[in-house]
Structure 1
Amino acid sequence: MVEEAPIRLLIAASGTGGHLFPAIALAQKLPEYEIEWLGVPNRLETQLVPRHYPLHTIAVEGFQQGFGISSFRILGKLIGSILDVRRILKQGNFQGLFTTGGYIAGPAVIAARSLGIPVVFHESNALPGKVTRFFGPWCDAVAVGFDVAAQYLPRAKNVYVGTPVRSQFLDPGINVSLDLPIPDGVPLIVVFGGSQGAVAINQLVRQSAPAWFAAGAYVVHLTGDKDPEADSLKHPQYIALPFYDNMAALLRRANLAISRSGAGSLTELAVCGTPAILIPYPFAAEDHQTYNAKVFTKAGAALAFQQSELTTEILQNQVLELLHSPSELAKMGEKAKAIAIPDSADKLAQLLREVVER
C-alpha cells in the first residue's frame, strides 16, 4: 500500500508578533502537514521562523502614501513578488496557503489564486485591514479574531475562530512563580506596548509610577528596545526590561496591565483574564486599535483612553482607583476571560484542513 504524501502548506506571515504568533500557533496544530514560510527580509520572522520551518523571503512593501513616483517602484516590486510567490508555490508543490494579512498577503493571495491553490486568511483585528477587505472575497475562508469584524467583510466567507495564542498561554501547568524579585501578595502592574514597545506610554508610566509605589504596588515595565530613557527610573519596586519571555506567567500574576490594544496583546490578556487599561496606538492603520479596545470596554474587561487625552494625573489616579478596588479588578478579569477562545488554534487548524483537503 502506497502511503500518501503529506499536504504541503505555505504560511505567509510577516512583520510583527501580531502577525507571526497566531501563524506559529496554527502551524504547531498541524503536525501532519509539511509547512514552509513566506516572509520579508529583515523582519521578525527571520529571527523566529528558521529554527522551525524553511523560510522563503520576497521583497514587498505597502502603499503608505498617495500615488506618486515612488508608487511605480512599489508596483514593480509587487509584480515581481507575485511572480516570486508563484514560483515558490509551483516548485514546492504546495496545496494550500495561509496568511495573517499585512503587505505580504497581497502577492501571496494573488499568486495562490492564479494557480488554483486554496487560501485561508486570518484577520485578528476588530476592523479588518484594507488588504483583508480587498482580498477577503478572493479567499476560500476568512477566519476572524473578533466576531464584529465580519460586518466589514460582507462578501467574504467569514468564520469566527478567535485569535490563536502561543502555547505557553494554554499550559495549565505553567510555573506562575516568576524569576523576578516580586514578593507574594503585593499588587503588580505590568506595562507593555506590544512587540514594538511604546515610548509614549513608557514616559507616562515613569511619571505616574511613584504614586503607585507609595500604594505598595510593584511595576514590571517592558519598555521595548527603542526607548532612550528606558533606564532613567530607579526604584526597588520597579523592574524595567526590554522584553520578557514568560508573558503568560507574568500576565497571570498581574493585578492590572497597561497596554496598547493590538489584537495579539488583547488575546493574551483575555486568555490570562488580566484586567487592563488600554491606550490604542494613535498611528495604527485606520485607527484599528481603537476598534479592538472597544470590544474590551464594551464587555467591561478594560478601560481605554486615547493617548492624546491621557495625562499623568489621569493615568496615575485611574490605576490607584482600580488597585483600591480588588473586586472591580476581579470582575474585569472574569469579563476578559469570557472574551477568550482558548482553543482558537484548534478551530483555525480544523477550518484550514476542511478548506485544503476538500
Structure 2
Amino acid sequence: MTEAVAPLILLAAGGTGGHLFPAEALGAELMRRGLRVRLVTDDRALRYSGLFTPDMIDVVPSETVRSRSPLALARTASLLAAGVLKAYGLMRRLQPRAVIGFGGYPTLPPLVAARLAGVPSLIHDANAVMGRANKFLSRHVSAIATSLPGVLDHDPSLAARTTLTGTPMRPAILAAAGVAYAEPQAGGTLRLLVIGGSQGARVMADVVPPAIERLEPVLWPRLDLVQQVRQEDMARVRAVYDRLKIRAELQPFFSDLPARLAACHLAVSRSGAGTVAELAAIGRPSILVPLPGAIDQDQFANAGVLSRIDAAIRIVQTDFTPDRLAAEISALAAEPARLAAMAERARSAGRLDATERLADLVTRVAGL
C-alpha cells in the first residue's frame, strides 16, 4: 500500500531577503504542520542558503518594468509570458494545493499561472502601501494577507478579502524578541546600530560620521557604535571614528543582525518593510530614513507606522543632515526614559504570532 503524499504548497517570492525571509518562516511552519513546500522564484535565490535547498527551488523567468520605452516594455512582457508558461507547466506537474506570493515581479508568473490552472492563491504584502506586483494580483487571488493595518481600507472590495497577519519572522528574530530592552544608564554606554542595506549604506556613510563628530565631546566615550559600511566607504568612515576615538565595529554585512538589533539602545536605519517589522517585533527605538524616489513611497509609509506611535523618529532624506542627526541623538542620549518608552511602544506594534496566523490562513485557502 502506497503511503499518502503530503499536500504541496508553492511559495512564490522575489530573490531578496525582504521577500525570502517571510517565505522561509512560513515554509518552516507549514512543514512543521506536515505539509510539503517548494519555492518559485528568480535566479537570485539560487545564492540563498536558508530553508530552501536547491532541490526545493523552481526558477521561473521574470522581469521588472525598468523603462516605459516600447522596446523595454516588449522585452518585459515577453519574459513574463515565458514565465507564466513555465509556471503553468509547474502547476500541471506538481499539482499544488495553493500558491502563496510574497511580492516582487517574480511572483507574477506563478500567481497568474495558478489562476489559469484553477489553483487557490494568496498574496502577502509586508508594506504599508501595497507593491505594484501585488496590486495587480490582488483582484485575482483567493485571499490577501497584510503585515500592517489599514493597507486596503481605501478599497472595500479588497478589504473584505484581507486578513491582518503581520510579517512571518525568522527564528533568529523571535529569539531576539525575547531579549528585554536595557535602558541606557545616565552617563553610561549608549549602543548605536546604523544599518543601511544595499540602497542605504552610502547615505549613512555620508551623514553618520560627521553627525557623531558634531556631538558634544563628552558623548564620544559613551558611544559603542556598530555600522554597516560599504567596502568602498570603509576607509573614510573608519578615519573619522579613529580620530574621535569612538568604539566602532564596521562591516559591509552583519550575519547576526537580529542579535545586533536586540543589543542596541537605538537604531538608525532605512525603513524597508522587513526592518520595520523586526524593529517592532524586537521592540527597539529607531531613527528611520525612508529611501527616497520610490513611486509609491512605501518606506515613508512604513516609517509612519512607528513614528505615529512615537516609537521612531522619521526623517526624510533631504532633512537627514549631520546637524539634524546629531541633535536627535543628543536629545535621546539625554533622556534614557524616552528611549525605553519608544522601545515599549515599538514592541506594542509587533506581531510575534504572524507566522502561525498566516499559516492558518494558507491552510484555509488550500482547503486543508
TM-score, normalised via structure 2 length? 0.88
Q: 1:172 to 1:247 in 2, by over 3 A?
A: closer
Q: Is the 8 A contact 1:13 1:99 kept in 2?
A: yes
> In the TM superposition, what is the alpha-carbon distance from 1:151 to its structure 2 partner?
1.7
Partner in structure 1 of residue 277 of structure 2: 267
Partner in structure 2 of residue 181 of structure 1: none
Q: Is the 8 A contact 1:175 1:249 kept in 2?
A: no
Rounded Cα–Cα distance in structure 2 between residues aligned with 1:195 and 1:107: 26
Partner in structure 2 of residue 355 of structure 1: 365
Q: 1:53 to 1:345 in 2, by over 3 A?
A: farther
Rounded Cα–Cα distance in structure 1 between residues aligned with 2:92 and 2:224: 54
Does residue 1:229 correspond to 2:233, yes or no? yes
Does residue 1:21 correspond to 2:31, yes or no? no
Rounded Cα–Cα distance in structure 1 between residues aligned with 2:176 and 2:315: 32
Q: Which residue of 198, 208, 211 corresponds with 1:208? A: 211
TM-score, normalised via structure 1 length? 0.91
Partner in structure 2 of residue 313 of structure 1: 323
Q: 1:137 to 1:203 in 2, by over 3 A?
A: same
Cα offsets for 1:280-322 (capped at 9, x unmatched): 0003341110011111111111000110122111111111111
> In the TM superposition, what is the alpha-carbon distance from 1:255 to its structure 2 partner?
0.6
Uncovered stretches (5+) of structure 1, i.e. residues with no partner: 177-184
> In the TM superposition, what is the alpha-carbon distance from 1:118 to its structure 2 partner?
0.8
The one-letter code of the counterpart of 1:150 is L
Q: Is the 8 A contact 1:82 1:107 kept in 2?
A: yes
Rounded Cα–Cα distance in structure 1 between residues aligned with 2:39 and 2:288: 32
Secondary structure of 2:89's aligned partner: helix
Partner in structure 2 of residue 219 of structure 1: 225
Rounded Cα–Cα distance in structure 2 between residues aligned with 1:201 and 1:172: 24
Partner in structure 2 of residue 135 of structure 1: 137
Q: Is the 8 A contact 1:222 1:243 kept in 2?
A: yes
Q: Which residue of 122, 125, 139 corresponds with 1:123? A: 125
Q: Is the 8 A contact 1:129 1:285 kept in 2?
A: no
> In the TM superposition, what is the alpha-carbon distance from 1:74 to its structure 2 partner?
1.2
Rounded Cα–Cα distance in structure 1 between residues aligned with 2:285 and 2:354: 21
Number of residue-to-residue matches in the alignment:
348
Q: Is the 8 A contact 1:8 1:93 kept in 2?
A: yes
Cα offsets for 1:72-126 (capped at 9, x unmatched): 1111111111001011121122221111011012211110010111111100000
Q: Is the 8 A contact 2:289 2:317 kept in 1?
A: yes
Q: Which residue of 72, 80, 89 corresponds with 2:91? A: 89
Rounded Cα–Cα distance in structure 1 between residues aligned with 2:358 and 2:98: 14
Cα offsets for 1:25-48 (capped at 9, x unmatched): 11111111211111111x245323
The one-letter code of the counterpart of 2:165 is V
Secondary structure of 1:63's aligned partner: coil
Cα offsets for 1:46-65 (capped at 9, x unmatched): 32355376111122112133
1:225-264 superposed matches below 5 A: 225=230, 228-234=232-238, 235=242, 236-264=246-274
Cα offsets for 1:259-288 (capped at 9, x unmatched): 101010011111111100000000334111
Partner in structure 2 of residue 110 of structure 1: 112
Q: Which residue of 152, 172, 196 corresponds with 1:193? A: 196
Moved more, 194-203 or 289-298: 194-203
Partner in structure 2 of residue 39 of structure 1: 41
Does residue 1:328 correspond to 2:338, yes or no? yes
Q: 1:67 to 1:173 in 2, by over 3 A?
A: closer
Rounded Cα–Cα distance in structure 1 between residues aligned with 2:179 and 2:151: 35
Moved more, 293-302 or 60-69: 60-69
1:33-72 superposed matches below 5 A: 33-41=35-43, 43-44=44-45, 46-49=47-50, 50-51=52-53, 54-72=56-74
Q: 1:321 to 1:52 in 2, by over 3 A?
A: farther
Q: Is the 8 A contact 2:228 2:254 kept in 1?
A: yes
Rounded Cα–Cα distance in structure 1 between residues aligned with 2:18 and 2:190: 28
The one-letter code of the counterpart of 1:186 is T
Rounded Cα–Cα distance in structure 2 between residues aligned with 1:335 and 1:211: 29
Cα offsets for 1:172-191 (capped at 9, x unmatched): 79789xxxxxxxx6110001
Q: Is the 8 A contact 1:9 1:36 kept in 2?
A: yes
1:125-164 superposed matches below 5 A: 125-156=127-158, 157-164=161-168
Q: 1:19 to 1:68 in 2, by over 3 A?
A: same
> In the TM superposition, what is the alpha-carbon distance from 1:242 to its structure 2 partner?
1.2
> In the TM superposition, what is the alpha-carbon distance from 1:205 to its structure 2 partner?
0.9
Uncovered stretches (5+) of structure 2, i.e. residues with no partner: 181-187
Rounded Cα–Cα distance in structure 1 between residues aligned with 2:174 and 2:320: 34
Matched-pair identity in %: 28
> In the TM superposition, what is the alpha-carbon distance from 1:196 to its structure 2 partner?
5.0
